Each structure stands twice: as C-alpha cells, then as structure tokens.
Chain A
Amino acid sequence: MARRVPVGKPAIRVENLDITYRVSVESRPTLKGAIIRLGRPHHSIRVVEACKDVSFEVSNGQVMGVIGANGAGKSTLMRAVAGILPPTKGRIEIHGKVSTLLALGVGFNGALTGRENVVLGSLAAGLTRAQIERKYDEIADFAELGDFMDMPMRTYSSGMYSRLAFSVAVNMDPDILLIDEAMSAGDAKFRNKASDRMTDLANNAGTMLLVSHALGTIKSMCSEAIWLHKGRLIQRGDPDEIVAAYTKFLEVGEDPLSLEDI
C-alpha cells in the first residue's frame, strides 16, 4: 500500500495550539484550616499554560527538531501530536501512522524477564504478535544482552534496562515518528549504534519530530528546527541558525558540553 501523503498536504499540521493544565495543589495544612475543613485537604488550582498559540507544519519526509529550555512545552507538544493529550484550543491534523518513542520501558514490568518485556512493550506500542515474532531476534541482537534476556529485569543494571527499552522502541515501521530525548542510553559503543539507528530511522521513517537537548544531533539530523520557550514558538527555520540563536540566548556558546554528542 502506497503511503504517500497527497501533494500539498503536510504530514503534521499544528494550528494555534493551546494546551493548558489545571493542576490541583494541596496547600500547606494549618491546624485552623484542618479543623474548619474537617481534615480534608485544601486544593488550590494552579493553571499551567504549557503551549500557547503554537503553529507549524512538518512536510512528509522531513525531520523537524524541537529545542527549548526545560519547561518550554516540548514534551506536552509531542504528546498532543501523538493524540495522548487533547488540545485546549486549536487543531492538530496528522496524515499517517504515528509511532512514539516518548519514554523508555513503557509497560515494562520488573518481575518479568527481558524476553517477556519485549513482547509486552511491543504490544503496548501497537505491534501484533506476528510482527513481534519476526522482529524478536532483531530486537534481542540490537540490545546485546545475551543470556540476560531470560533473567528478570529487576536484575538488570540501569544501562541494560535502557538498552533493551530503546531496542524495543526503535523497531517500528512508522510513517511518522515522534522522539522525545530517548537517545542517551548505554555505554559509548551502544550510543554510537543507537545514533546510527536513529539516522536510519530518520532516513526511512518518512517524517520525524525530534525533541532533544543534544544540539549536535539537531544540527546533523534535522532539516528544520523550531524553538519553544515557555509554551510559545519563538523561531523556526534552519537548524544551524536556530541552534545558534538558542545557545546565544542561553549565553553558553557553542562548545562541546552543550553540543553533547551522543
């Protein structure tokens, strides 16, 4: 089945997106307050505007990078594009099948073996059992855990856990891939392998939306980038320009530490 988006239609279109959280915060209990309210906590509602009037488009086959300081709204934006969070205002339109790599080890259970968690994690991500059967060897080889695949995951080191989780997450065949900073896992050798795999995905997946603090990756893998700050889209354009503007904003400058090679 051909998976070409019709000419003129972007793979992802975000229009005037607003996402507002209403967080219920329990204020510090005072004795007087506790007596008046009969022990029930006092909730005050804080409103967090995670995304404010964000608009952009990603064409089919494009790799778009998203950068910004912590709390800029990048993860919220990704989850809205994936359909996990509903927009408060605005509209998102997607053409194609979306696969997400937003967190490692989603659905994993520490009491189960690596093998069982591969099945569970893959099913959670939307693969069918037949697909898992076919891909299992590929996943296991990529993770390089050997005999540990049959040991419970609670016996794994955190690096091993991340490697297996990453291995499960990258073995999809999506039209559109959303990635949220899941790349810094494992030792240097694995990280090189992971970065090669990511580049493969970027070339084959069609469209990719990539959130990362590793500015070097953004520059090398993306054809366009956007910069979010406190929920607003500040700038959009060529990755080199955006990264330069961003690092200037941070007054850090382009040095190896901030380019943080993977």
Chain B
Amino acid sequence: MNTPVISPEDEYLGEHHIYEPHITGLPQMRPYFRELWARKSFAIELSHTEMHAANTDTFFGQAWLVINPLLLASVYFVLVEIIGGRSQPPTFFAHLTSGLFLFYFISGAMIQGASSVVSGGRLIMNTSFPKALLPISATYTAFRRFLPTMIVFGVLDLVARLPIGLQLLWVPVILAEAVCYGLGLALIFATAQVYFRDTKSFLPYAVRIWLYLTPILWFADKAPKRLLPFLPLNPLYGIMGAWSEVLIQGKAPAHRLILIGGAWSLVTLVLGGLFFMSREREFAVRI
C-alpha cells in the first residue's frame, strides 16, 4: 500500500491514497511510521488482552507470570547441578537464572512474533493497518512476561548477596539492545512464517540448541575447548556477556561487549524491518 501522499493541491484534505500493483518494495517511511505511532495503543491493548485471556480460567491466574520463571529455573538447576554432577561456584544459580530469563525474553519475542502475522488472519483481511504492529505487539508481550521474572531475580540477587551498585545503570542499555534484537527477530520470522509455514515448527529446536550454545547453563570462561573459538559468533555473545558482567560480576561491562551487542541488535532490527515492510502487501493475499 502506498501510504498517504499529501500533494500541494490536497493540503486541505484529510488524506490521498494511491494503490498500484507493487507487491514488494518499501512503503513510504514517514507516513508508515506516523501511522505506526498513531496506532501504538492497539498493539499495547492487543498484548494486554492476550496475556489477560491466557490465564483467565486458571487457578493461579496472573501469578503464572512469576511461577513460570521459577519452575523454569528449577528445571535447569536440576539438570545442571544435580544431574550434571560437577559442583558449581556459588554464583552459578544466579548466573543461570539471569541469563535464562533474558534468553527467554528474546526467544519468546522470536517465537511469538513468528506466529503473530499468520494468526492475525481475520484482522489482516478486514482492516487496513501497518502490519508491523503485530510483531511489535508480540515483542511487547514477551517483554511484559519478562518483567516479573526480573522481580524473581531481584529477590535471588539479594539472597545471594550479589553486588549492587552503579553498574546497574547499564541494565536499561542492555535491555534496550535485547528489545531491538528481539523485535528484529520477530519481524524476520513473522515474514518467514507467511512464506514457509514450517518455520514455527523448526524454531523451538533451534532455540533449544541456541540455549545450549550460549553461556547460560555454563560459565563463559569454563567453556568446552572446542566451542571457545566460536563463542563470539553467537549473536547473543555481546548481550549475554554484558548482562552477566553487570549482574553477577558486579562491574561495568566491557565496551567491546556492549558494542557487539548493539551492532547485532541494530542490524537485525533494520534488516528485519526492511524485510517485513517490503513484503507486507503480500500478507493479505497469502493468509
């Protein structure tokens, strides 16, 4: 869709649209983003309603937002500490939970983002709106599910007497990078899912393998020898490394890590956005 063009003769009009057969190719950026910003309440409300509806009939209701991360952390604790055998340093559980929660935010944005467009069939067929709102809503949902997990982590932080100080000011920076990266992935996989409906089925396995290859279930300096040279290739190397340094080691993160994380996030977001927006017109026909 060519979003509104305001030519001089139309300056006293509301809008002027021209629809021509360009299936791919980018829409005009400024009107697109203006429309996106104007409709942001819809993305937010959609997210709220999905979360609300998900836990409506259960006994624990919204408490699941906290129960889920706790159960998740205990599953991996059992796996690594008890079954894994080797005894871990005392900060291990905190490292595990903090990394796991952030990882689940990013992978959650990716997986929910992937199905956001194909499941919005009725909405897409009957309303004209910038469809990027759907993966944005999915990412926002993943972020809202992430926040209570940080409360759980905060409690663990105090119990384990991890260092608290100015380095925590880096947390919003790292989170911003994580949000951009998650949104970029959501946009990419939402588009991929429309063309290749098997994407959603492959993703959970890819996420699992990615989890095992990231320094979450193990410490980066104790990585298996074979893996060491490949560690920096992991897109989460920067973000997770910085996260661990700030929360567990209690120091400001190495600039290298912040920059690598920022680069990955920005590139993924821009490429994901361009990919999504260039294909957006075809969605209504393919769903």
Contact = CB atoms under 8 A, between A and B. Distances in A.
Interface of A: 1-6, 21, 79-80, 82-98, 100, 102-103, 106-107, 109, 111-112, 116, 119-120, 123-126, 128-129, 152, 175
A120 B13 CA distance: 28
Interface of B: 1, 9-10, 12-23, 38-39, 41-42, 45-46, 49-50, 52-53, 56, 122-129, 281-282, 284-285
Contacts of A97: 14-15
Contact of A112 (B10, B14, B38, B53): B53
Contacts, number: 122
A92 B49 contact: no
B45 A96 contact: no
A77 B20 CA distance: 14
Contacts of A98: 17, 128
Contacts of A102: 125-127
A49 B46 CA distance: 35
Contacts of B39: 123, 126
A255 to B, nearest CB: 33
B130 to A, nearest CB: 11
Nearest to B13: A95
A116 to B, nearest CB: 7
Contact of B128 (A83, A90, A119): A83
Contacts of A175: 14
B285 A85 contact: yes
B127 A124 contact: yes
Contact of B49 (A83, A87, A88, A116): A116
Contact of A106 (B20, B127, B281): B127
Contacts of B38: 128
B13 A92 contact: no
Given A5-B13, A87-B20, A126-B39, A82 B123 contact: no
A126 to B, nearest CB: 7
Nearest to B19: A92
B15 A91 contact: no
19 contacts: A6-B10, A79-B284, A84-B127, A86-B284, A92-B17, A92-B20, A93-B18, A94-B16, A100-B126, A100-B127, A102-B126, A103-B125, A106-B122, A106-B123, A107-B122, A112-B49, A116-B52, A123-B45, A126-B39
Contact of A119 (B9, B14, B18, B45): B45
B119 to A, nearest CB: 12
A97 B35 CA distance: 13
A3 B13 CA distance: 5
A106 B125 CA distance: 9
B23 A86 contact: yes
Nearest to A22: B285
A107 B20 CA distance: 27
Contact of B42 (A90, A94, A109, A123): A123
Contacts of A124: 42, 123, 127, 129
Contacts of A96: 13-15
B19 A111 contact: no
A107 B127 contact: yes
Given A79-B284, A85-B285, A123-B42, A91 B14 contact: no
Contacts of A79: 125-126, 284
B281 A93 contact: no
Contacts of B126: 79, 84, 100, 102-103, 106
B45 A120 contact: yes
B122 A103 contact: yes
A84 B127 CA distance: 7
Given A86-B1, A126-B39, A94 B17 contact: yes
A90 B45 contact: no
Given A6-B9, A79-B125, A106-B126, A111 B53 contact: yes
A240 to B, nearest CB: 31
A76 B127 CA distance: 13
